[in-house]
Amino acid sequence: MLTVDHVYFSYHNEPPYILNDMNLTVHRGDYISIVGDNGCGKSTLLRLILGFLTPIKGHITKSTHNLRYVSQKNDFSHAGFPITVQEILDSYRKLLHIKDKNEVDRVLALTNMADYKNRLISKLSGGQAQRISIARALIGEPDLIILDEPSTGIDRKSQESIYSLLKELNIKYGIAILSVEHNLEMAIANSTSIYHIANGQGHLCSPEQYVKEIMHRSNSAEHTNCSCFTDVSDRTTPGPNEVCQNSTPTSAVSTKEVHHV
């Protein structure tokens, strides 16, 4: 469905690369969470996949054009914008050239937001607004939904509701999900795979494997009081298989979070 093949990228068109020989394949039914430290290139990878940026080297191949994007929102994203939920969804339906007018009601029902059809988006809570963004992404029955930090600015209860909706869409309708995550707990609990980016490279592993690695590193760091996992800046660039095993700083994942999972 989507292949990222030996992709290199730098905002200055020259080394050092933010993304350095990046590889990723997304199949139908996958739920992949992209994790990593701030500034590691998670959102840059999304923007490359969406075509907002162009790789310096390598290729991104999409076998489907039926993909949707749910961008990262902050509390002020819709402040003062005079638009109702109905207008948001119906305008997008028209942009996608979908003639069925019932499509808006269908996606509202899928996301359990039918009662909010005539509300202004600026009057909804962060969680409700995010559900509307997901409803919009469902217009036209997409194969792949790409999300950028879907839980930003949302309370814990709404987060659980959002992730439960994403998981349902993934399992029940086979929609592939590719989501940049800072919320490791939710990523581990809901994803089929974790794609961990560090030092410009990524590695795909199962959530269980990822948890084991984090716990192993946390324990090692506590026992040895060693700083080798808290600072990776002086390390030489590791190979793709090494990244998931060695490069997550303990600051990125607290022991508390992992125990909770």
Partner 1 sequence: MFNYDFMQNAFFVAICISLICPCIGIFMVLRRSSMIGDTMSHASLAGITLGLLTNTNPIIGAFLFTALCGALIEFLRKYFSHHLDLILTIILSLSIGTAITLISSGHLKANANVFLFGSILTVNATDMISIAALTVLSILTLYFLYNSLLYIAYDEEAARVAGVKVDLINYIFAILMAAAVSISIKIVGVLVLSAMIALPVASALQLEKGFRTTLLCSIGFSLLSMVIGLFGSYYLNVAPGGFVSLTSVGILLVVLVIKNIRIIMSRLRVR
Residues that bind partner 1 (CB under 8 A): 50-52, 67-69, 71, 78, 80-84, 86-88, 91-92, 94-96, 118, 120, 136
Of 149 and 213, which has the nearer Cβ to partner 1? 149
Of 96 and 228, which has the nearer Cβ to partner 1? 96
Least CB distance to partner 1 at residue 182 (A): 19
Q: How far apart are CA 26 and CA 3, in angstroms?
A: 6
Of 119 and 182, which has the nearer Cβ to partner 1? 119
Least CB distance to partner 1 at residue 223 (A): 45
CB 135, CB 108: distance < 8 Å: yes
Least CB distance to partner 1 at residue 175 (A): 15
| Sheet architecture: strand order including 67-70 | 67-70, 144-148, 176-180, 31-36, 193-198, 201-205
User: Rg of the Cα trace of the chain?
Assistant: 19
Of 89 and 258, which has the nearer Cβ to partner 1? 89
Tokens of 80: 């003062």
Q: Which of 61, 34, 36 is nearest to 46 (CA)?
A: 34
Of 107 and 253, which has the nearer Cβ to partner 1? 107
Whose tokens are 């039914």? That residue is: 29
Least CB distance to partner 1 at residue 134 (A): 12
Least CB distance to partner 1 at residue 83 (A): 5
Q: For the chain, how many residues are written?
A: 261
Least CB distance to partner 1 at residue 87 (A): 5
Of 175 and 252, which has the nearer Cβ to partner 1? 175
